[in-house]
Each structure stands twice: as structure tokens, then as C-alpha cells.
């Protein structure tokens, strides 16, 4: 498998794993299941975008993502998998789940997407990645707002 394909598959895995975490939280915290299910669905949509990018890349319709981003994507996947382990702790509170998810959206994934974006030439690919980054920030804000409802500042 070439680095480009491996990079995109790793991006898909990051998004799918994040969706799994949110789906798990939807079951564990039914009082906020609408939020968690919505976030999980959006993460699955992000995964589909990366799968489409892989198809377009193979057909030569878009420029390749910077291959030196592969180690960073692998690091992001390792971090998301660690978060998934923490998220499965039965003692985890809803507040902790919101904090974990906000951190995931506003640090791990944001850092990864920022590097991918910085390595791209101008164009549609950069716009798509920027859109994913904006959605991630929106997810983080929604999670922070949900936490404020539980524990006012």
C-alpha cells in the first residue's frame, strides 16, 4: 500500500474510532444522546469524505495529500485509540466524557488537520480539509456548551 493510501485509511480510522466513542457515549449518557448521536453521524460523514478523497486521488482528480503527514496521522490514531480506552471506563462520568470529547475535537484532531492543511497547495482539497477543521471546532464548542449545562461555570 502506498503512503497516500495508508494516510487516507488512517484518517478514516481516526474518524470511525471517534464515531465509535460518541456512539458509546450516546448509550451511556441517554440524557444527551441526541448530541452524541449527532456527533457520531458527523464523524461517519467525515470518514466518508476521506474515502471519497482516496477514490479521487486514485483517479488523479485531486492532488495527493502530503505523504510526510502519515506519521502525524498515525499518532492521531494512537491518541484516539487511547481516548477510546479511557472512554470505556465504567466509572466515567458524563462531565468527564464531555471533557474527553472536547479535548479530542479541539486538540488531537485539530492539530492533525492543521498540519494537513498547512501542507496543501491552494484549491479544493485545502478547502475540504478546512471545512473538516471548522466542523471539528464546532463539535468542540457544542461539547463545551453541553458541559456548561451540566456544571455551570
Residue with cell 456512539: 23
How far apart (Å, rounded) are the C-alpha atoms in residues 49 and 140?
20
Taking only the tens place, the pLDDT of each residue in 51-69 is 887 777 776 666 666 667 7
Taking only the tens place, the pLDDT of each residue in 98-143 is 999 988 887 776 677 766 766 665 667 777 777 777 777 788 788 8
How far apart (Å, rounded) are the C-alpha atoms in residues 95 and 146?
9
How far apart (Å, rounded) are the C-alpha atoms in residues 22 and 38?
9
Structural domains in the chain, CATH included, are 3-150 (1.20.1260.10)
Q: Please tell me which residue, 110 or 7, carries the higher pLDDT value.
A: 7
Amino acid at each position: 500500500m502506498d503512503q497516500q493510501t495508508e494516510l487516507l485509511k488512517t484518517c478514516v480510522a481516526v474518524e470511525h474510532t471517534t464515531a465509535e466513542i460518541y456512539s458509546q457515549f450516546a448509550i451511556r449518557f441517554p440524557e444527551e444522546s441526541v448530541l452524541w448521536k449527532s456527533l457520531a453521524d458527523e464523524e461517519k460523514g467525515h470518514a466518508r469524505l476521506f474515502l471519497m478523497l482516496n477514490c479521487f486521488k486514485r483517479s488523479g482528480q485531486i492532488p495527493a495529500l502530503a505523504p510526510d503527514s502519515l506519521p502525524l496521522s498515525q499518532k492521531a490514531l494512537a491518541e484516539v485509540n487511547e481516548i477510546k480506552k479511557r472512554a470505556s471506563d465504567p466509572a466515567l462520568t458524563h462531565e468527564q466524557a464531555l471533557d474527553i470529547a472536547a479535548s479530542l475535537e479541539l486538540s488531537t484532531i485539530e492539530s492533525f488537520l492543521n498540519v494537513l492543511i498547512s501542507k496543501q497547495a491552494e484549491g479544493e482539497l485545502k478547502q475540504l480539509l478546512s471545512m473538516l477543521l471548522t466542523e471539528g471546532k464546532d463539535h468542540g464548542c457544542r461539547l463545551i456548551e453541553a458541559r456548561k449545562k451540566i456544571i455551570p461555570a
